[in-house]
Structure 1
Amino acid sequence: MNQTIKQPEEFNLKNIFIGNEYIIPIYQRNYAWEQEEIEQLLGDIYDSSGRYYLGSLIVDEITPNTFSVIDGQQRLTTIFLLLTFLKDKTLSKKSLRFEAREKSNITLNDLSEKANLDKDWFYSKEIIEGFDVIKNYFSVEETKNPEYRNQFLSKLQNILIIRTQVPKQIDLNHYFEIMNTRGEQLELHEIAKGKILSIIDKDMPQYKAVAGLIWDKCSQMDSYIQMNFDKTSRKNLFSEKWDIFLCSKPEDLLSKISLEKELSDKRFSLFEKLEAPTIETTTKADDDYENERFESIISFPNLLLIVNEAMQNSSTDDDSTLDDKKFIETLKKHWANGNNAITFIYNLLKYRFLFDKYIIKREYARDYKEEGKWSLQMLQIYFDQSKSHEKPSYKLTYAVDENVDDKKTETLRSLQSALRITYTSPKTMHWISKALSKLNENQDSDLTTVLEEYACKKIDEANYKDASGFGIDRIVFTYLDYVLDRDKVCKQSIPNFQFQFRTSIEHFYPQHPIEKEKWNDVSLNSFGNLALITVSSNSKFSNLDPQSKVASYPDTIKQSPKLQLMQEIMKENGNIWNEELVKKHKEEMIMLLTREIEKYKKA
């Protein structure tokens, strides 16, 4: 049966909801975007110049101008929250609704009317947290640039979304099957791969198969690079113990990688499975577990840009070099000729090995199987006697052996996690490039010193002594928390402290106290009265006084060593938190940061 196919339509953010109603069907998951995705979208909008395509929206028209959202609901919901925050008059109560999720609908409706909700049981916690991320983002940016909101609003007319309607009477199950099988359109990193392999095929054809293989292996980011290769290539490339990169130049790749073994791996595995199913199944299960155990802190396209920046070894940060909107332009020099291309492939593999060994990951195992924890471990071989096969084992990167608790690794892990939660946008993750570049020069480099110096430089540039309120850069808070934990400054240090994604500036003495005197803005927004906590925790604290916060939410206090220290100061002073203590605490913390900065200025 012929079906009328409607051409994709182009909408800007100012008119996507005008005259249209969107319903999120029950089979779609609830709103799930967090700080990183939301801030990435907001940053993309603000950084855009001219017409900029934000993404696509695939819908099924139920009745005229009423659409069921098939794909793109996370982005569409975020846009709705953004326009609600900006008090856009194009929205109505029916602009966006969730099918059979009344809590989400109540939240969207009340947000548009009140724009300030607590996390009561009848509201969607995820939607409120998303809205709070947007509020906090604008508070921070407007403190640094009073014209930020007006500049942001001026961009919306040119921010475009492509809405595609599926044909009438289409079998949606079949549609999803096609989407999952075929995948999305060609991505930029696939275009870059094609360009690089094409010039290698032209100038240095003997390297083409090896280059393509390395690219594919490096693209699998959530496992250690060694485990992406066949066992023969693994030992040739990374030693008998799997823990050293043995290639010193691009030419070594040809002799180290067993192409025949790699390319016949699937056929060989099938043969093994037929001949010895028990052994193969066990090994495969182990491999699957290892590949699900870790999660990279960056994506493969981000890795390509970071490798490019690390190769340049620049002394200054240029966000455009890590900006995926300039992906092809940034990388095109690597396919100017075959030599450039194979050099980049070699460096991609080398830097990927260094990344896995020396840069943190999220680990999901044992007690942290659900929420994960920061992990800094290196991979090495372990022979499992009971199963008679080799498998990976992990030890702290700088530990002497697998069971040693290593202070050096613990400190570096804490520092890197502080930087990770500070610089959440991929285009600001220059600290990874700096670390990899230094390791490339010398693997014995003291990474803690390298990254502490980097953080101190950022703090020094941030007007840390005079900034207040939302004008204080996140790095000032996160690095201070790192130092307080590193040096165990608090009398009761937070056991096993782990940095969380914290973006909300908490006023320990509240901005709008209940039945208590309101402080002047200088004391209220002083660094001595502030700490960084999660958005959800900030909502819980609300307008409680410091004493109630400490008594009611002890776990929130443990999110920040600075907040823990403020609690201790208050208790030492008769459970009182006043403006004099705020002033003194600020002076002490600024002095501590200044000592850190001076340490590296003298170096």
Structure 2
Amino acid sequence: MSIHSAKITLQDVVNNNYFFNIPIYQRLYVWEEDQIKTLLEDIESAFDTNKNIFFLGGVLVVENEQIIDGVVYDLIDGQQRFTTLWMISLVLQNSLTPFIEREEDKKNRHRVHFAIRDDIYQYFKHYILGITDGKANTNIENALAYIDTFKKELETKEIDKSSKIAQFIYEKVQLIFTEVPKATDLNKLFEIINNRGIQLQHHEILKAQLLNKLHPDDRLKYSYLWDACSHMESYVEKNIKDIAKVRIQDLFENEAAKTGVEKLSIASNILTNIAQNQFNNFKPLSLENILAENNFDVETEKDIPDETYKADDIRSIISFPMLLQHTLRIFLVNNKQPDIPKILDKELLTIFEQYFLTKDKSQEQLKADITSFIELLWQVRYVFDKHIIKWVRLEDGETHLICKLEKYDSKGNYYLRRRQPDANEGEALLQSLLYHSQQITTHYWLTPYLKYLVDNKGQNSYSYLKHLDNNLLCSSETGSLIVRTRNFLDQYNYTTIFDTSLLKEPHGTSFPHYWFYKLEFVLWNTLKDTKDERWKNFKFTAKNSVEHISPQTQKTTDTNTVSEGMLNHFGNLSLVSRSINSEYSNLPFNEKRQRFVNNNRVKLDSLKMELIYANDKWNDTIAKQHQDEMIEYLENYLSVTII
């Protein structure tokens, strides 16, 4: 039997009676929220834009056993995404229900089975039956919780959208299904899989298409700019230093950086420096130099003292294809051109072909646009690193920080470093709010913010971010975020009418998570100077579960409860992580309160809950008073003119 590959949908999997075993040698489920969120948002985007096919990648399988009316395969590669698809079917159901399991005489056969892991099988068996009090791998529990949150958000957007997306996934999501012979040496196969080359990415293809249009003399220096911008896991000045041997200390001064006029921020200065380096590197040698062999009396790279540069390990909040599309949006508005329809990583080449590499441009115009775009890309990337949060790796995990570049003198030598801030900064905290509460695959708020930073050299950036957040996300305006952010691209100080009316309605677990995050920031901004260090050092973390303070299932002996009429109101709710939601579950108020106090002695997880649990009892009156106070904090904050 030879290796066989074919495109299949989940509907094909059901029709062909395929089942899948996760072998014991495979890792258990390891995907985290960001990966699941990206997949779900990509699927929703493909559905919203009426894509006929959504290609998800490939799975590699080998036959395990033949069964009655079907076959069981071992999943060798691609098990993380395939398991995620199966868990999506558990939550969304509807058209995906046949993909969950097949009814059989003795016991139903799950579509995905974890070999020799009966605890995982039992967990999923109970979950399918609607029993969710079991324990499994933490990543599995968190994944199901996040998918459930995603489903509830879909239901608030459009009637039956959840079921429509379930049908889309069942019929339109395609995988490359590759089956290898049973006699395959799996050890050798794993070695090949682990050492295979990385597929050429779309942004690399785009780079080749753009640079190919330039004059050969310009290609190298613009390639350096592009490459420096493309490496998102380190700061751009380090990238250009390593790639093009640019001496960044000659282009950076602390005082100039305060007003955004440092030479390093301007692409033309980098291009000039690169051109000078190229000229110096090819200095002709005299006959005397040649005859002297190694005794060259010329400047070599070793003659140039090394720069000392230090920065913490970082992880970007967006990908390079996303940065390219944010930059393209700015480029288009600068040139009074229509906006792109949507930021979408998978459509990068198509978007640039339609909105940038248009056929109606002359060769000269195209060359001018390409060089102008790459220079703008440098400026955007520079302010992105200067003003936008990064995931900074610390000893106890990661946190969002803005680490400023600074130059300092030590014993006559200059050094450059990215310094962590000494205290919690509002601009970073507000961006962290936006990161956690907005689509991870688009972050539309970034486009107008980056344009403002470029055009205004970063001045009054925090004030503008407050203005943008308030008027974009607390607005009564409806419509897609890409359309609404174009208003701010056209006019910085665009304003809207604020609307907090939904905070007075009983939305329960369907409350938009943004408003919980927003309230936390407002409470920190308003009260931190009157509170202890825990308030001053508050940080946002990923939260995906709406918790009822007075539980939905109440014990008759609990006197600290609210009525049915108050149960699902904002005053009786808070946003928590999946783990906290599971820990608190249906515990009575006093037990939840004590657990919160015990777990928050050093670091606060929720400012709203800190205020709630300052009360030693809980009822309709106190919950309503808390709600009114929280709404008042929000409305007072929104009433202040920012710019």
Class of the TM-score when normalised by the shorter of the 2 chains: 0.7 to 0.9
TM-score by length of 2: 0.77
Residues 440 and 495 of structure 1: is their aligned pair in 2 closer, same or farther, counting only changes over 3 Å? closer
Secondary structure of 2:100's match? Answer: coil
What is the letter of the counterpart of residue 397 of structure 2?
A: E
Which residue matches 1:40? 38
Instruction: Say if 2:527 is the partner of 1:475.
Output: no
The partner residue of 2:87 within 55, 65, 81 is: 81
In the alignment, is the contact (CA less than 8 A) between 1:237 and 1:256 conserved in 2? Answer: no
What is the letter of the counterpart of residue 532 of structure 1?
A: L
Secondary structure of 1:499's match? Answer: coil
Secondary structure of 1:32's match? Answer: coil
d(CA) in 1 for partners of 2:281 and 2:513?
47
The partner residue of 1:117 within 133, 139, 142 is: 133
Secondary structure of 1:502's match? Answer: coil
Unaligned runs of 5+ in 1: 265-270, 272-278, 398-404
In the alignment, is the contact (CA less than 8 A) between 1:230 and 1:261 conserved in 2? Answer: no
Question: Cα deviation per residue 1:427-486 (whole Å; 9 max; x = unaligned)?
Answer: 1x1222222111111124222221212222212338532343244322211111001012
d(CA) in 2 for partners of 1:533 and 1:14?
39
Unaligned runs of 5+ in 2: 102-108, 283-293, 295-301, 359-365, 478-498
d(CA) in 2 for partners of 1:522 and 1:14?
47
Which residue matches 1:496? 537
The partner residue of 1:52 within 37, 42, 54 is: 54
Tell me how far 1:389 sits from its aligned partner.
8.2
In the alignment, is the contact (CA less than 8 A) between 1:230 and 1:262 conserved in 2? Answer: no
Residues 498 and 249 of structure 1: is their aligned pair in 2 closer, same or farther, counting only changes over 3 Å? closer
d(CA) in 2 for partners of 1:217 and 1:180?
27
Which residue matches 1:155? 168
The partner residue of 1:226 within 230, 233, 237 is: 237
Which residue matches 2:495? none
d(CA) in 1 for partners of 2:38 and 2:191?
29
Question: Cα deviation per residue 1:287-335 (whole Å; 9 max; x = unaligned)?
Answer: 8x957x21111111121112223334599x9894322243223323444
The partner residue of 1:564 within 610, 621, 624 is: 610
Tell me how far 1:261 sits from its aligned partner.
10
What is the letter of the counterpart of residue 75 of structure 1?
A: R
Which residue matches 2:273? 256
Which residue matches 2:428? 413
Larger radius of gyration: 2
Tell me how far 1:168 sits from its aligned partner.
4.7
d(CA) in 2 for partners of 1:115 and 1:41?
26
Residues 340 and 219 of structure 1: is their aligned pair in 2 closer, same or farther, counting only changes over 3 Å? same
d(CA) in 1 for partners of 2:606 and 2:637?
19
Instruction: Say if 2:199 is the partner of 1:185.
Output: yes
Tell me how far 1:519 sits from its aligned partner.
4.6
Tell me how far 1:418 sits from its aligned partner.
1.0
Tell me how far 1:196 sits from its aligned partner.
1.0
In the alignment, is the contact (CA less than 8 A) between 1:335 and 1:341 conserved in 2? Answer: no
Which residue matches 2:554? 513
What is the letter of the counterpart of residue 562 of structure 1?
A: K
The answer to which of 354-363 and 591-600 deviates more is 591-600
Tell me how far 1:564 sits from its aligned partner.
1.0
Query: 1:453-602 counterparts in 2 under 5 A?
Result: 453-457=467-471, 458-461=473-476, 463-466=499-502, 467=505, 468-488=507-527, 494=535, 496-515=537-556, 516=558, 519-554=562-597, 558-568=604-614, 570=615, 575-600=616-641
Which residue matches 1:359? 388
Residues 14 and 171 of structure 1: is their aligned pair in 2 closer, same or farther, counting only changes over 3 Å? closer
The answer to which of 53-62 and 541-550 deviates more is 53-62
The answer to which of 6-15 and 247-256 deviates more is 247-256
In the alignment, is the contact (CA less than 8 A) between 1:311 and 1:437 conserved in 2? Answer: no
Residues 250 and 226 of structure 1: is their aligned pair in 2 closer, same or farther, counting only changes over 3 Å? closer
Query: 1:240-279 counterparts in 2 under 5 A?
Result: 245-246=262-263, 251-257=268-274, 260=278
In the alignment, is the contact (CA less than 8 A) between 2:92 and 2:163 conserved in 1? Answer: no
The partner residue of 2:441 within 408, 420, 426 is: 426
The partner residue of 2:113 within 97, 117, 122 is: 97
d(CA) in 1 for partners of 2:178 and 2:2?
13
Which residue matches 2:76? 70
Instruction: Say if 2:384 is the partner of 1:373.
Output: no
Residues 7 and 374 of structure 1: is their aligned pair in 2 closer, same or farther, counting only changes over 3 Å? closer
Instruction: Say if 2:418 is the partner of 1:394.
Output: yes
Residues 482 and 395 of structure 1: is their aligned pair in 2 closer, same or farther, counting only changes over 3 Å? same
d(CA) in 2 for partners of 1:530 and 1:562?
9
Residues 481 and 95 of structure 1: is their aligned pair in 2 closer, same or farther, counting only changes over 3 Å? same
TM-score by length of 1: 0.82
d(CA) in 2 for partners of 1:339 and 1:53?
35
Question: Cα deviation per residue 1:345-384 (whole Å; 9 max; x = unaligned)?
Answer: 111112111111111111113xxx2421221111234567
d(CA) in 1 for partners of 2:357 and 2:267?
15
In the alignment, is the contact (CA less than 8 A) between 1:13 and 1:161 conserved in 2? Answer: no
In the alignment, is the contact (CA less than 8 A) between 1:13 and 1:160 conserved in 2? Answer: no
Tell me how far 1:14 sits from its aligned partner.
7.0
Tell me how far 1:32 sits from its aligned partner.
2.0
Tell me how far 1:159 sits from its aligned partner.
2.0
d(CA) in 2 for partners of 1:391 and 1:112?
59
Residues 372 and 220 of structure 1: is their aligned pair in 2 closer, same or farther, counting only changes over 3 Å? same
In the alignment, is the contact (CA less than 8 A) between 1:107 and 1:127 conserved in 2? Answer: no
Tell me how far 1:536 sits from its aligned partner.
1.6
Tell me how far 1:79 sits from its aligned partner.
1.0
In the alignment, is the contact (CA less than 8 A) between 2:60 and 2:75 conserved in 1? Answer: yes
Residues 199 and 100 of structure 1: is their aligned pair in 2 closer, same or farther, counting only changes over 3 Å? farther
Which residue matches 2:297? none
Tell me how far 1:18 sits from its aligned partner.
5.8
In the alignment, is the contact (CA less than 8 A) between 2:333 and 2:339 conserved in 1? Answer: no
